[in-house]
Structure 1
């Protein structure tokens, strides 16, 4: 009897649950895909969501370790051994560790948002000019995500539409194919994006940004003619009048001078006065609330010197010495030194005059930092400055509003010069290097080193790029493009003794994805 009674109740409850499941009431707080993609405003919000991907930790924080600390210009003395292992020592113990996977997942989150726009916006009844612009922005951003994946993971799946729940991701695409997709997206974006925006839309992808990224893709593939053709639009073509090197180099790294004439594309970071220790509040936290969004970057406290920050990433002294090889035409030191580093002589008069967040270098005793074994051995502690907020505050927060200038016009000019030189047009390349040097107060290369051979000019370009762009996240891609990544870099960065050619040029594919998608293949050597 008890058994029968139990079955009756169970069946009754099951029947009730079935009836409830048949209810189809839309939740106004969670619109479905079918409900959302209806208006021009929906299309705009969808594109805005793509840009917000850059506030996730993998892109706004850890990517800078991969591009700066993993390269030979930086190192880590972090008390967290996993940061040193993954970002400095090429020791990847766990292929599912968030320090390896976060950039991968953030890029694919962004790609999914791009694909939603590209799949749904074409059917919306709206102004066609606005529609094409929004689709161009989505293409640009998808190209940027694929460029990042190709650069750091090599062979990855290329997904061009929102997959259905029953679909596996496609099989692994070789790195060249991933770059090719990025190039196609950037090419499409060049025809759809405007050259400039009004003040209320600053920060959106422009035609110049699309041409610049197209040039970068071709540079990494050593397709010099295509790279030249793309970069020419900005360097000496129709877009050249839209850009100019700012007079004060440091204006490129200060929050109060964002989106200036040198900016080709920058990640827009808007500080929000929330809990300073809750970096993941907002886009990186699925449980966030609208009043607790974080649209800033958390890289400053990770690079800032103790006790302001954690000092998980630092600069090698050899990079400073590279700047000191030349002086300005007036005999003074290259001003880019003080903009790039905090060290004992950021102020040329020395440690008693060098201020670090309002206090002198001497009073903080950084040269004896026991957490920095290289400094202990050489008495030469150096910190990166470009991402810091010391110009506007005497501390750091996890939601810095200082924009990351991902593409500067100086970078474009030097890449254009490199492409010209690779094509045997070395004489023409001098002009574009000269522009960068003159802004720094140096003698033009035309006057200082006339008549360089093609190889000698490339060697000089390597110097120009480290002095102009060090600590900005371009060194890793430069080393790859030049074919300079090898264990021989251990003479500058001891961690490169662990570097294995044919393996460590890229990161391992996350094991989670390999387990879930039988179409994927792990990168060689892992």
Structure 2
């Protein structure tokens, strides 16, 4: 069903099969007898994409929108102590170690492909496209590492021997210089999205939008390279000027489309494609709609125990008339009474009892539905994010919001209020006459509303330099206002200290690589 599935399926097993019954196996895949033609290169590229999905849930199948991005927008049901989900962990934690390993395995696969890109006799245009996708994915993997761990070893050659010398950490500044260089080269090589009718491949506007995100990150903490706001604005404008993308007029339909395995390449520039129920040899499913879904005990509707619960802060961030609140945050759960499943709606005061509701399994079309996994894609980049990046960067570059910055944020808000996106609306539009600081705060709040539970909140708070202060104030806020049964919702915030701006370098890496130093306070 998912268009990139064939790449992932075929690529995931590269260099791992062998017929052990033969003395001289002929089907053992090595670089020397692989990369013979275009099909081999496509499969190798699939292996690079494959690391975006980790069968144990550390990448976009689960972790990068849940337990690895704890912020002030949600807490975990029933978990109060001794768990990564309440920020109680150390450098030996399995999920942190495995995140590091999975990302580096993607980098190693990209390195191997790039080393052999000129080997086969194939169409040069397609060769360049594959090279561009691999360059981007390698750079994106390094972006994830740098964003989460700080400076890391920069490895630009595939692993050929277990005795290869280890590498020290590269500075954050130099890591970003490399990421930008490779992404800019990729921009010149990858296809336009018009070449596809799906959005799981890296295309030109994907690269441009992610570069805007990278530049905004560089402009904030820890580099504070404010000149990069100009670059962020340039790249957001490239996406907008391309004319390839637009806002879906119905906010909730974005996520219904995901649940129904439908592509919307206008709104969603890039999605990580999931497939199936994680049964058999196909390990490409995720937990979108389960990990972050409406509480439901009924397998036919779509099981979820509703583990992610919104904080009172994110609930109150939405204004009166903002339709996004009761879609992003479920207004009901499913209950079974006398053998009949029905919706039970929360009262206005039941805020901490609710669950995340963006991806609702009741809309899934694939059956039978699994209790453990879904085929629902996860969006890495949406057009509304591009518009909000433009508004933010423009305000920082020009010292105050101009008409274009207002229009970018207002388009997103109008859609959120159910209004036509190109028609000014007094109920939805940002008040006129805001100074730079007031508009800055408006953009920050709007990103919280629009992109809630999409894995961006922690990243944004860190680059704005307010992650620790926001978590500390959340701890006080939740302890004061949450019902007694939900006071534990403050525990993750209570446990968050300055060291949590970065993950610790995994103990598995420190044990073998003595050139690598640990992050502060770990």
Normalising to structure 1: TM-score of the pair? 0.80
How many angstroms does 1:259 deviate by? 3.5
Alignment of 1:102-181 (within 5 A): 102-165=98-161, 166-181=163-178
For 1:209 and 1:51, the matched residues in 2 are separated by: 14
Once the two structures are superposed, residues 442-467 of structure 1 have per-residue CA deviations (whole angstroms, 9 ceiling, x without a partner) of: 63699541111000000111121111
Using a 3 Å threshold, how does the CA distance of structure 1 residues 469 and 200 change in structure 2: closer, same or farther?
closer
Is residue 411 of structure 2 the alignment partner of residue 439 of structure 1? no
How many angstroms does 1:184 deviate by? 1.6
> What SS is found at the alignment partner of 1:504?
helix
For 1:200 and 1:446, the matched residues in 2 are separated by: 32
Is residue 64 of structure 2 the alignment partner of residue 63 of structure 1? yes
Alignment of 1:259-408 (within 5 A): 259-272=264-277, 275=279, 292-304=281-293, 305=295, 307=297, 308-323=303-318, 325-327=319-321, 334-344=322-332, 359-361=342-344, 380-392=352-364, 397-408=371-382
Contact 2:150–2:502, Cα closer than 8 Å, also in 1: yes
Q: CA RMSD in A?
A: 2.8
1:426 maps to 401
Contact 2:198–2:263, Cα closer than 8 Å, also in 1: no
1:486 maps to 468
Once the two structures are superposed, residues 179-230 of structure 1 have per-residue CA deviations (whole angstroms, 9 ceiling, x without a partner) of: 2222222111110012124446642100000011111111011120111112
For 2:46 and 2:386, the matched residues in 1 are separated by: 26
> What SS is found at the alignment partner of 2:36?
coil
Once the two structures are superposed, residues 282-313 of structure 1 have per-residue CA deviations (whole angstroms, 9 ceiling, x without a partner) of: xxxxxxxxx52122102433333264334332
For 2:506 and 2:457, the matched residues in 1 are separated by: 24
Contact 1:78–1:310, Cα closer than 8 Å, also in 2: no
How many angstroms does 1:79 deviate by? 5.0
Which structure 1 residue ranges, 5 or more long, are not aligned?
A: 1-22, 276-290, 328-333, 368-374
Equivalent residue pairs, number: 452
Is residue 407 of structure 2 the alignment partner of residue 409 of structure 1? no
Normalising to structure 2: TM-score of the pair? 0.80
1:288 maps to none
Which structure 2 residue ranges, 5 or more long, are not aligned?
A: 1-20, 220-227, 298-302, 420-424, 476-489
How many angstroms does 1:45 deviate by? 0.6
2:235 maps to 230
> What SS is found at the alignment partner of 1:486?
helix
2:17 maps to none
Using a 3 Å threshold, how does the CA distance of structure 1 residues 447 and 42 change in structure 2: closer, same or farther?
closer
Once the two structures are superposed, residues 120-154 of structure 1 have per-residue CA deviations (whole angstroms, 9 ceiling, x without a partner) of: 11232211110000000001111211111111111
Whose helix fraction is larger, Structure 1's or Structure 2's?
1
For 1:450 and 1:80, the matched residues in 2 are separated by: 44
Once the two structures are superposed, residues 85-137 of structure 1 have per-residue CA deviations (whole angstroms, 9 ceiling, x without a partner) of: 313x32223x2322222221111111111111111112322111100000000
2:433 maps to 451
Is residue 189 of structure 2 the alignment partner of residue 192 of structure 1? yes
How many angstroms does 1:159 deviate by? 1.0
Using a 3 Å threshold, how does the CA distance of structure 1 residues 489 and 200 change in structure 2: closer, same or farther?
closer
Alignment of 1:29-48 (within 5 A): 29-48=27-46
Contact 1:266–1:406, Cα closer than 8 Å, also in 2: yes
Which is greater in Rg?
Answer: 1
Contact 2:292–2:356, Cα closer than 8 Å, also in 1: yes
1:520 maps to 516
